[in-house]
Structure 1
Amino acid sequence: MSTTRIGAVAAAAGVVLALASCGGGGITNSGSGGGGDTKGDIILGMATPLSGSSAAIGPYMKNGAQLAVNEINDKGGVLGRKLKLVVEDEACDPKTAAAAAAKLVTEGTMVSVGGYCSSATLPTLSIFGKANIPMIIPAANSNDLLKGNNKNVFLLNGTGAQQAQAAVDFMKKSGAKAVALVDDNTSYSKDITTRTAEDAKGDASLKIATQQSVTAGESDYSAAVTAIMRANSDFVYWTGYYQEGGLIIKQLKAAGYKGKIMVADGSVDKQLITIAGQDNAQGVYATMTQTPQTIPGGDGWIAKYKAAFNADPGPYSTQSYDAVRVAAEAIKNAGSTDGTKVIKALEDINGFKIFSGNLKFTPEHTLTEGGFDILVVKGDQFVLNK
């Protein structure tokens, strides 16, 4: 863990303690979230970026979750009770996310269905865990989220390990010889580059020419670009988010880079194309779990989303939709909102249909089905690479 991250997590812990001491309460094993209330709405809490550099993702997740809430409520709810979605901003920032999680606990969250940035989700694990609140995480997927063996944590997205393997497989298939790995030094991004480098060691024809870590939020990435060019890299894999990814692509192209470029799932958004420039972004590949536009037969769901919100769905809208559905299924099967009973029901789910396949969690609470596709930029959008 970097000094920056240690400081951020420590600051986040301070925010949580401050909220608790100011009457926030609830951050205990007997908190309202895990207590199995039998009256009123069933509250689902979502922490998602509504501000900051990844703010474009928040509405996709919020709307996807709300669509599922509306559909379930229209059919009578769960256990005779209505679902209610409560959303707080995590801003892809550990301190902000910790404050958001503490607030969601005090607001009576019974199941958490949020989590986009892994580095921001990490400090929320202990907050929801102490309140005995199950977490169904639709987007954040760093393997660091699994290190604490937190029984309440379930990942509804493919893991960083799975994404790294998909990346290496595509590098080999595309004939890459000298790969540049570039991350933003956050948990999510660094996890993927580290695992990609390890997986690449198994193939003598694939060389990691250079590994670069950049600082998120900057505008000049010429040092990384120069290192990539000097290493004669013919393949660049960026594992951070779209704001910096777009700039790196733009600056690589300006420097005369002619090789292939691929980004990880945190950069799969139209904003990447806008920032890079549409001409520069053409042919950029991506490792990504399903999006509404890449799901076979997904047109009907897209139409429902657009009718409800007068907007197109985007990345992680389907995973957030499924997170609510999985939460409702577990509560129904548990016959209760008690955290311990819901966690057991989540572990016992076997074959529940979600967008990525038939849901069954591994003993580590990751997906047994559903992996990463390779997308490519064509025009102003990411499409399946065929």
Structure 2
Amino acid sequence: MRAIPLKSFASLAALGLLVTGCGQGLLGGGDSGDQAAKQDGPIVLGMLIPQSGSEAAIGPYMSNAAQLAVDEINAKGGVLGRQLQLKTADDACDAQSAAAGANKLVTEGVNVSVGGYCSGATLPTLPIFAKANIPMIIPAANSQELVDQKLKNVFLINGTGSQQATTAEKWITKQGAKSVALMHDNTSYSKDIAVRTQALLDPPGGADAVITEAVTPKESDYSANITNVLDKKPDFVYWTGYFQEGGLIARQLRQAGYKGSIMVGDGSVSPKLMEIAGAEAAEGVYATMTQTPDTLEGAEGWIEAYKKKYNAEPGPYSNQAYDAVRLAAEAITKAGGTDGAKVVSALEAIDGFSMFSGPLKFTPEHTLASGGFQILVVKGDKFILQDALK
């Protein structure tokens, strides 16, 4: 599913995409001391992102876009007469680091969490934010395991692993693949997509043979895994993990003589994949991915605003991070304040809020009604839109 066309950056404001402050205080008003300070001080948004480790390239895209949204909202008067403030913490795409980062943000008094990239790192933060009564708007992490925790404060604005697997199966079937190798790294996110894709391919009408191969992340040589896979003679390989390993696997598959199709999951959609794989091996690699700045119709004005502020192109998950901040501001406005339970209720009641992915309405599971996954393909140094599978 493509985003609803947005004719210009000016039209974003006209459609109400930029949240304006209401110029009113919080419900209940007037206590002195700490309570008054909380009501008059900034509304703090917390963002856990990878700022170190193998996925660190993604962090700046997300934090820059989130800060862009914060600055725009503050320039319009803030939210309920208060300014927004963004605080980030490094999760390093690692469960232990993420838990430490979440506790740090809780201690710093964040009102809403708007981060989460790696699902395996996001999972251990869920109970930490839930215990602190902090709503979570997760812009990128999308393992079904996040949904399966059934926590009332958790909302996903990226498509789920189940929705990504459905898109993958449709594309693989459309390509007429007869023998498919599904490669994952045993993390929550990656294995979830592989398992769900396998289940969809196994029934009649799917591939004749489905091979699964688990690799160890953060290695430099996957030749043994490549040999295991190629011994089964697949004509389609789908890597469901992150770009560091994805780039190596694509390069080593081609070096081993594999001529069939290669596809990667959304965690591998990054310029780094082409850099690691090399231009020749990366060319023609497909990807299952939600909207990226390059595939958003009518977002030229927003892209220019990002480039003007940061002197860089917006990358994967920048638009989702931008929307996470805007959605948090909308929910706080509707809730009349930052009380966690009221913000959660406001998020549940959202119906038609305009985002880059289209009008938002959450399912009872707090996921998008439609995942918005599309097929991209590497052409030169970019992932471009191949097929929206309408």
Length-normalised TM-score, structure 2: 0.89
Structure 2 Cα separation of the partners of residues 84 and 205 of structure 1:
49
Aligned match of 1:155: 156
User: Which residues of 2 match residues 106-125 of structure 1 at below 5 A?
Assistant: 106-125=107-126
Aligned match of 1:301: 302
Please, what is the CA RMSD of the aligned residues?
A: 1.2
Structure 1 Cα separation of the partners of residues 209 and 372 of structure 2:
24
Structure 2 Cα separation of the partners of residues 348 and 330 of structure 1:
9
Aligned match of 1:128: 129
Extract unaligned runs of 5+ from structure 1.
Answer: 1-34
Q: String of CA shifts for 1:277-330, please: whole Å, max 9, x gaps.
A: 011100000000000010111211110100111111000000000000000000
Which AA in structure 1 matches 2:178? K
Aligned match of 2:196: 195
Identity %: 63
Aligned match of 1:328: 329
Aligned match of 2:29: none
Aligned match of 1:262: 263
Aligned match of 1:9: none
Asked if 2 retains the 8 angstrom alpha-carbon contact of 1:357 and 1:370, the reply is no
Aligned match of 2:4: none
Aligned match of 2:90: 89
Asked if 1 retains the 8 angstrom alpha-carbon contact of 2:201 and 2:210, the reply is no
Structure 1 Cα separation of the partners of residues 106 and 47 of structure 2:
11
> Is 2:253 the partner of 1:249?
no
Work out which structure has the larger RCO, using CA pairs closer than 8 Å and 6 or more positions apart in sequence: 2
Structure 1 Cα separation of the partners of residues 104 and 267 of structure 2:
26
Aligned match of 1:359: 360
Give the drift of 1:140.
Answer: 0.1
Q: Secondary structure, in 3 states, of the residue corresponding to 1:376?
A: strand
Q: Secondary structure, in 3 states, of the residue corresponding to 2:88?
A: strand
Extract unaligned runs of 5+ from structure 2.
Answer: 1-35
Q: String of CA shifts for 1:93-114, please: whole Å, max 9, x gaps.
A: 0000000000000011000000
Asked if 2 retains the 8 angstrom alpha-carbon contact of 1:142 and 1:160, the reply is yes
Q: Secondary structure, in 3 states, of the residue corresponding to 1:196?
A: helix
Asked if 2 retains the 8 angstrom alpha-carbon contact of 1:291 and 1:316, the reply is yes
Give the drift of 1:205.
Answer: 4.5
Structure 1 Cα separation of the partners of residues 43 and 209 of structure 2:
49
Aligned match of 1:54: 55
Structure 2 Cα separation of the partners of residues 169 and 45 of structure 1:
36
Q: Secondary structure, in 3 states, of the residue corresponding to 2:102?
A: helix
Structure 2 Cα separation of the partners of residues 224 and 166 of structure 1:
25
Q: Secondary structure, in 3 states, of the residue corresponding to 1:308?
A: helix
Give the drift of 1:36.
Answer: 11
Q: String of CA shifts for 1:179-232, please: whole Å, max 9, x gaps.
A: 000000000000000000011122344134310000101011111111121111
Aligned match of 2:282: 281
Check 1:141–1:226 CA distance in 2 against 1; reply closer, same or farther (3 A cut).
same
Length-normalised TM-score, structure 1: 0.90
Give the drift of 1:370.
Answer: 4.2
- How many pairs are equivalent? 352
